[in-house]
């Protein structure tokens, strides 16, 4: 998926219709014999399309006021975490209010929803479903666990959550823990769930909503928390700040504060030199304050027996003391 940084560093692909091209003085021979991309019928692009986001941008000249990019297309534009099984998808998903014409074309999939649920916003130069509606539309193809992961990304106020495309550029802060406005609020997800009725995915939305928590910093942090819950452990606190009096020792991904046990998910970027040094200093401070820190990787989650045993031992140690 494209991040805002990547978009700023690369020239924006432009899409235009045959008529627009001819009005700009481009001959038919140049259009059909040049290096222009032709991703959709009647649409040309200034360079060949290379990604699902390119295909979505390229369809913009054919969109009407009653069209909004939705489903996985909107999710990619918002920078939401989608499962790997959808990586190869190139379909452009469009949502329209019931009673309005749906666009057609190769690799175009349009769906109608109740007019009372339909909404659009103009962001990134495109008409797309707002974040709460995007989450609801995804319920048709995502599992409950995957909906929780997307929901956590939508409501996070953490500036450390990578990949999210916000419609604004949050100012860089000297305090990495200072919050940023989320793409959606929990009450907005609750409202769209309540209005979804018996539409496909409504049951998964209701189930997922009970597990969505603000403050999460990565998709894998969500999956770590869900794995802990599914194993029968009590729910850990998310994004817990450990204090020594009024002094912040550090933030931990998941915490059992009464037991002073922290669970930290370590992704690849945690092994980058600067981040690794910061993590080491923070964990040393936590251990000095009496905390047990359990570090988890994707390998641990793939076979979590040892991780769960370590966590169980740490929690029992406190109860026994």
* Secondary structure letter of residue 89 according to DSSP: -
Residues 101, 245: one domain? Answer: no
pLDDT of residue 2: 46
Q: Predicted confidence band at 38 (pLDDT cuts at 50, 70, 90)?
A: confident
* Residues 95-112 pLDDT 10s: 999 999 999 988 899 999
11-15, 26-30, 203-207, 229-233: least confidently modelled range: 11-15
Residue 9: its pLDDT value, please?
39
* 247 and 301 together in one domain: yes
Place of tokens 């029968």: 232
- Interval 279-311: pLDDT, tens: 888 999 999 999 999 999 999 999 999 999 999
Tokens found for residue 37 = 């991309």
Q: Give tens-digit pLDDT for 180-202.
A: 899 999 999 999 999 999 888 99
The pairs formed by 270-278 with CB atoms below 8 angstroms and a separation of 24 or more are none
Which residues face 292 on adjacent strands?
261
Contact yes or no for 177/119 (Cβ under 8 A): no
Cα–Cα distance for residue pair 70/63, rounded to 1 Å: 13
For 252-321, the DSSP string reads: EEEEEGGGTEEEEE--GGGGSHHHHHHHHHHHHHHHHTT-EEEEE-HHHHHSTHHHHHHHHHHHHHHHH-
For residues 13 and 86, membership in a common domain is answered with yes
Together in a domain, 292 and 185 = no
* 139-150 burial code (b ≥16 CB/10 A, e <16): bebbebbbbbbb
CA distances (Å), origin 178, targets 15, 157, 164, 173, 175: 38, 8, 16, 7, 5
Same domain, 202 and 226: no
Average pLDDT over residues 22-48: 84
What does the block give as tokens for 17?
């219709």
CA dist 163 and 265 (Å) reads 17
pLDDT in tens, 234-257: 999 999 999 988 888 989 999 999
**Domain membership flag for residue 214:** no
| 8 A C-beta contact, residue 93 and residue 111 | yes
Q: Tell whether 94 and 137 lie within a shared domain.
A: yes
- Domain tally for the chain? 2
pLDDT of residue 28: 81
* Residue 307 belongs to some domain of the structure: yes
Do both 250 and 301 map to the same domain? yes
Quick count: other Cβ atoms within 10 Å of Cβ 182? 20
Whether residues 77 and 203 fall in one domain = yes
Query: 182, 209, 236 — which closes off a domain?
Result: 209
Within this chain, do residues 28 and 61 fall inside the same structural domain, yes or no? Answer: yes
Q: How confident is the model at residue 178 (pLDDT cuts 50, 70, 90)?
A: confident
Share of the chain above pLDDT 90, in %: 65
- Tens digits of residue pLDDT in 46-97: 888 888 899 999 999 999 999 999 999 999 999 999 999 999 999 999 999 9
User: CA–CA separation, 270 vs 277, rounded Å?
Assistant: 9
Pairing of strands 68-69, 92-97: antiparallel
Angle between helices 186-195 and 202-209 (to 10 degrees): 150
Residue 6: is its pLDDT beyond 60?
no
Instruction: Decide: helix, strand or coil at residue 121.
Output: strand
Last residue of a domain, one of 146, 177, 209: 209
Mean pLDDT of 114-123: 96
**Same structural domain for residues 267 and 143?**
no
Q: Measure the CA–CA gap between 310 and 317, rounded to whole angstroms.
A: 11
**Across the chain, what does the average pLDDT equal?**
89
Structure tokens belonging to residue 40: 């959709």
Is 12 contained in some domain? yes
pLDDT score of 41 more than 70: yes
- Identify the three-state secondary structure at position 140: coil
Q: Looking at the predicted structure, is the pLDDT value of residue 12 above 80?
A: no
Q: What is the pLDDT of residue 244?
A: 86
Asked whether residue 71 is domain-assigned, the answer is: yes
**pLDDT above 50 (res 10):** no
Q: Which residues pair with 262 in a beta bridge?
A: 255, 293
User: Which token pair is 151?
Assistant: 């929901």
Which of 113, 121, 266, 268 lies closest to 192 in space, CA to CA? Answer: 113
270: pLDDT strictly greater than 80: no
Q: What is the pLDDT of residue 8?
A: 41
**Per-position DSSP letters for 201-220, written without gaps between them:** THHHHHHHHTT--TT---HH
> Does residue 133 share a domain with residue 96?
yes
Q: Which of 209, 240, 263 is the last residue of a domain?
A: 209
Range of the domain at 203: 4-209
How much is the pTM?
0.88
Residue 267 and residue 205 in one domain? no
Question: Which CATH number belongs to the domain containing residue 229 in this structure?
Answer: 3.40.960.10
Residue 134 and residue 117 in contact, taking contact as beta carbons nearer than 8 Å: no
Distance CA 67, CA 280 (A): 50
């Amino acid at each position: 998926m494209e991040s805002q940084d990547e978009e700023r560093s690369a020239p924006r692909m432009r899409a235009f219709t045959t008529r627009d091209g001819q009005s700009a003085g481009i001959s038919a021979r140049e259009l059909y014999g040049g290096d222009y991309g032709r991703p959709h019928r009647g649409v040309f692009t200034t360079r060949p399309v290379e990604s699902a986001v390119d295909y979505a941008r390229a369809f913009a000249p054919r969109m009407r006021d009653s069209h909004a990019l939705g489903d996985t297309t909107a999710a990619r534009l918002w920078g939401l975490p989608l499962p790997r099984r959808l990586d190869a998808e190139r379909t452009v998903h469009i949502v329209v209010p019931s009673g309005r014409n749906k666009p057609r074309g190769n690799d175009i999939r349009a769906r109608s929803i109740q007019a009372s649920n339909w909404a659009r916003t103009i962001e990134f130069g495109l008409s797309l479903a707002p974040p709460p509606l995007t989450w609801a539309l995804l319920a048709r193809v995502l599992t409950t666990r995957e909906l929780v992961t997307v929901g956590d990304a939508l409501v996070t106020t953490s500036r450390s959550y990578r990949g999210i495309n916000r419609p604004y550029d949050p100012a860089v802060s000297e305090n990495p823990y200072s919050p940023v406005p989320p793409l959606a609020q929990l009450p907005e997800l609750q409202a769209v769930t309540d209005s979804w009725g018996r539409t496909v995915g409504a049951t998964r939305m209701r189930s997922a909503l009970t597990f969505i928590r603000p403050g999460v910093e990565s998709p894998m942090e969500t999956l770590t928390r869900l794995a802990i819950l599914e194993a029968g452990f009590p729910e850990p606190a998310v994004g817990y700040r450990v204090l020594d009096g009024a002094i912040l020792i550090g933030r931990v991904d998941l915490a059992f504060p009464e037991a002073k046990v922290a669970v930290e998910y370590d992704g690849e970027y945690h092994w980058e030199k600067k981040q690794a040094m910061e993590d080491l200093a923070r964990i040393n401070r936590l251990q000095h304050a009496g905390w047990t820190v359990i570090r988890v990787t994707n390998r641990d989650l793939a076979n979590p027996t040892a991780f769960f045993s370590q966590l169980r031992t740490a929690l029992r140690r406190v109860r026994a003391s």
